[in-house]
Structure 1
Amino acid sequence: MTNNSRDKTLLFKKILSTLPEDVYRNLCFHLDEMISYEPFIGLMGKSGAGKSSLCNTLFSPPPARVDAVSGCTRTVQRYQVTHGTHTLTLVDFPGIGETPELDSLYRRLYQAWSGRLDLIVWVLKADERAWNEDIRCYHELLSAGAKPESFLFILSQADKIEPCREWDGLNRRPSPQQHQNLQAKTRLAETLFAAAHPVIAVSAAEHYNLCHWVETLILTLPVHSCSAVSRHLHPELRTDTVRVTAREGFVRVTGEIFDEAVNALKTSGELVRYLRQLRQQFLSVIRTIWHLLF
């Protein structure tokens, strides 16, 4: 810990000690909730779309095993990524599109879990000609009450988009023609699914566009969970943009908690004016020590 961080931590404790007991307890309770929050992220999509491979690339050590056998995850499987006392749970759902009988079972699983997840990452194969099963299943979930903003669609296996032999293996990026085709595919996905968030094309195998997609993931997550998710990302994917987005979200929510705690005092005058002046100093300290919390 640097001297500046140590000084800020001491200042943080000093500020807390000057707060009225009710404000102090309210703040500590909600801050602890956010700091210790355990996110749940679901992975959905067609069998063979590369859901498990994506998990293996995002987090270190890899939380999910990869199996090339058809329908290797026919039941919901939970995988955990643990850092110290903090845990992220990945809920890997069976892939749709194998048989009509299995699809009926899978849709019920999706419907049972969707409301319990912070976000659902829906994986679509970039080289897939049609996403009919995905579209049908997605609409059924929406009809069952799922919210469009709870889904983040991603195009996987971008390196397999035609003309696949033109992939630039040296630089791990698509050729100009592939890039054009990927842009067309992402626009198509955004239109067909009426996606609430940008659709990004990635390749887990080639580590293509993963940083861009993770930055979108952090922006898409509920603000109370993005910092908790960021601590579990592979170090290479924890970019400055990811850290700043997660940190500022945490600061914003902390400010809202502070305001609610002060308003709950149901008093006015000198004390409230003092607390409101203290607010900016408090949030400045939170911003500085965020990296120590996550």
Structure 2
Amino acid sequence: MEEKAKAGGNPIKEAVDILPEGIRKIVLGRLNEIVGYEPRIGIMGKTGSGKSSLCNAIFKGEECPVSDVGACTREVKEVRIQFGKRSLYLVDIPGVGESAERDSEYEKLYSGLMPKLDLILWVIKGDDRVLAPDERFYKEVLIPAGGKSKMLFVLNQVDKIEPFREWDEQNCCPSPRQMKNIAEKKEYISQYLGFPEHPIVAVSANEGYNVTHLVEEMVRALPKYAQSAVAAQVKEEHKTEKVIEEATDGFGDTVDQIIDEIIDMAPIPKPAAALAKAAKKLVVEGIKKAWSFFFG
């Protein structure tokens, strides 16, 4: 951010300059943290569900293994994806489809992991008909660990859903009969899992089908403070107007909340606090206009 600021000014600094001096520096520091935030996205699913191909279809940048974090008798594998000076972390987490005897082990694992993750993509293979282990794990391990609001289910490899020979290869999309079966499979999974908080998204990562819609749902499901950092890391073909609008609004809402928190906590005179409240709207508008400067 400093290099850009030298080249063409710092839009954040310019926007917060109208705030009282007593809180200006604090606000600027918090906003710099949000701009530089490195999100953590969990990836889970049975072997063969296409987790790697899905991540490759969504994100740009180079992968760099970071660590294997020991957790009880299982490991959490973390990969850092970097594009330019911006990065995010993909956390490959175990558990799905294993024995019920490991539930207590995974409850501890996920209870520790959940606060560190901004979102979890649960990848289900399109033609997978054995969902009992998924249901058990979701209801008995993840929901008690606080994972319901962070879970986005992805039905991958839908090109393999019957009648798979009817897949429209020219347009990379399902045939009408496949589309009907895909809709039915999504509805079945939704009911089976007790209606998850976020919509189930059907994709084919290898065929490039519906990945952009998945990115839109990901950004919508993320905490507001993490939306922009993730939007900056997705491939350009997925950075739609919806993605940019959602992330920009989330950035503005985050700024609004930060300023309110700082005004309430900072030891500044009441007239200065009133001035900051009055100036907040202009600051938020200025910050939102600078979104592409940092995340575009």
The residue type equivalent to 2:242 in the other structure is T
- Which residue number corresponds to residue 168 of structure 2? 168
Q: Is the 8 A contact 2:122 2:154 kept in 1?
A: yes
| 3-state SS in 1 of match to 2:204 | coil
- Which residue number corresponds to residue 96 of structure 1? 96
Q: Distance in 1 between matches of 2:31 and 2:188?
A: 41
Identity of aligned residues (%): 37
- Which residue number corresponds to residue 124 of structure 2? 124
1:31 aligns with 2:37: no
- Which residue number corresponds to residue 268 of structure 1? 270
- What 5-or-longer segments of structure 2 have no aligned partner? 66-73
Q: Distance in 1 between matches of 2:264 and 2:114?
A: 34
Q: Is the 8 A contact 2:22 2:268 kept in 1?
A: no
Q: Is the 8 A contact 2:156 2:203 kept in 1?
A: yes
- Which residue number corresponds to residue 53 of structure 1? 53
- Which residue number corresponds to residue 277 of structure 1? 278
Q: Runs of at least 4 residues of structure 1 off by over 4 A?
A: 8-12, 98-112
- Which residue number corresponds to residue 219 of structure 1? 220
The residue type equivalent to 1:225 in the other structure is A
- What 5-or-longer segments of structure 1 have no aligned partner? 66-73
1:241 aligns with 2:270: no
Deviation at 1:78, TM superposition (A): 1.4
Q: Distance in 2 between matches of 1:39 and 1:119?
A: 9
The residue type equivalent to 1:166 in the other structure is E
| Pairing 1:177-216 to 2, within 5 Å after superposition | 177-193=177-193, 194-216=195-217
Q: Distance in 1 between matches of 2:140 and 2:125?
A: 20
The alpha-carbon distance between structure 1 residues 35 and 267, as it changes in their structure 2 partners (threshold 3 A), is: same
- Which residue number corresponds to residue 135 of structure 1? 135
Aligned residue pairs, count? 281
Q: Is the 8 A contact 1:40 1:89 kept in 2?
A: yes
Q: Distance in 2 between matches of 1:179 and 1:60?
A: 29
Query: How well do the aligned residues superpose, as a CA RMSD in angstroms?
Result: 2.8
| Pairing 1:58-69 to 2, within 5 Å after superposition | 58-61=58-61, 63=63
The residue type equivalent to 1:178 in the other structure is Q
Q: Distance in 2 between matches of 1:282 and 1:173?
A: 44
Q: Cα deviations across residues 48-106 of structure 1 (Å, max 9, x unaligned)?
A: 111111111111236389xxxxxxxx843211111333220001134633677888877
Deviation at 1:175, TM superposition (A): 0.5
More strand by share: 2
Deviation at 1:31, TM superposition (A): 0.6
Q: Is the 8 A contact 1:125 1:155 kept in 2?
A: yes
| 3-state SS in 1 of match to 2:174 | coil
Q: Is the 8 A contact 1:218 1:246 kept in 2?
A: yes
Q: Distance in 2 between matches of 1:18 and 1:37?
A: 25
- Which residue number corresponds to residue 69 of structure 1? none
Q: Cα deviations across residues 228-287 of structure 1 (Å, max 9, x unaligned)?
A: 111111111111111110011000110121223233456434x44433332222122111
The alpha-carbon distance between structure 1 residues 187 and 248, as it changes in their structure 2 partners (threshold 3 A), is: same
Q: Distance in 2 between matches of 1:104 and 1:274?
A: 53
Q: Distance in 1 between matches of 2:10 and 2:228?
A: 22
Q: Is the 8 A contact 2:119 2:222 kept in 1?
A: yes
Deviation at 1:19, TM superposition (A): 2.8
| 3-state SS in 1 of match to 2:61 | coil
TM norm structure 2: 0.84
The residue type equivalent to 1:180 in the other structure is K
Q: Distance in 2 between matches of 1:133 and 1:51?
A: 18
Q: Distance in 2 between matches of 1:254 and 1:129?
A: 45
The alpha-carbon distance between structure 1 residues 272 and 104, as it changes in their structure 2 partners (threshold 3 A), is: closer
Q: Cα deviations across residues 134-171 of structure 1 (Å, max 9, x unaligned)?
A: 11111222364223111111100010000000000000
